[in-house]
Amino acid sequence: MPALDWSSIPGALPFLWNGMLVTLSITGVAILVGIVLGTLIATARLSANPIPSSLAALYVNGFRSIPLVMVLLWFYLLVPQLIQALFKNPAADIRLVSAFVAFSLFEASYYAEIIRAGIQSVSRGQVSAGLALGMSRAQTMRLIVLPQAFRRMLPLLLTQAIILFQDTSLVYVIGLSEFFGVAYRTGDRDGTIVELLLFAGAVYFVLCFAASSLVRVLQRKIAL
């Protein structure tokens, strides 16, 4: 095995950085939209009314039964037409937008289940206390239940975000240049693929390890 040649890495850093920005933006958008949408789905799922609750269950079970890569490809084939129909603006980066949409909707199904468990972990007495003070059901949910649920769920939500961060590398299937894809292609071009993949792996490891440590700290804090 020839000695490793790290010399091409400094030159690749600007490209890798751009790739990392794509990775982080997909992760960020999917976390935000996923949590907001996931909260709505979770409350629908817990509703006493069978219509929203079964629709929510269908959503969650549907997305959880399909591989992420497939969701990604479907949306890549679907969203561009949608955007063009809506905005008539072919200049928008179709691939990035479809990645945002696919990851957000997919993550929402996972977040919904985490959030549902979080909501259920708040005792019924807390709901009674909110209602007894004259709050509406929606106010009780928003002001009393959700803040407590999110505090308890924080470690799980963050763990899911770490998984999501790693999963974004799948966007190579729609030709998007995120961190992993950039590393791969740069390495391929310069004949230093082993070095670049090792480097990329190290970056993933450091970031995810740091985030997991944060999860552990949070868990300990919440347990107190």
Binding residues for another protein (CB under 8 A):
125-126, 128-136, 139, 143-144, 147-148, 151
How near is the Cβ of 123 to another protein at its closest, in Å?
A: 8
Cβ distance to another protein smaller for residue 1 or 132: 132
Task: Tokens 């300990």: give the residue.
Answer: 220
Cβ distance to another protein smaller for residue 129 or 217: 129
How near is the Cβ of 151 to another protein at its closest, in Å?
A: 6
Cβ distance to another protein smaller for residue 33 or 141: 141
Cβ distance to another protein smaller for residue 92 or 143: 143
How near is the Cβ of 117 to another protein at its closest, in Å?
A: 18
Cβ distance to another protein smaller for residue 19 or 130: 130
How near is the Cβ of 157 to another protein at its closest, in Å?
A: 16
**Secondary structure string (H, E, C) spanning 143-161:** HHHHHHHHHHHHHHHHHHH
Cβ distance to another protein smaller for residue 148 or 212: 148
Contact 72, 26 (CB under 8 A): no
Distances (CA, A) of 37 to 43, 130, 178, 189, 214: 10, 24, 25, 41, 25
Q: Dihedral sign, CA of 188, 194, 197, 199?
A: negative
How near is the Cβ of 60 to another protein at its closest, in Å?
A: 27
Nearest to 141 by CA among 122, 114, 155, 160: 122
Nearest to 118 by CA among 162, 161, 165, 155: 155
Contact 60, 41 (CB under 8 A): yes
How near is the Cβ of 148 to another protein at its closest, in Å?
A: 5
Contacts of 90 (CB under 8 A, 6+ apart): 84
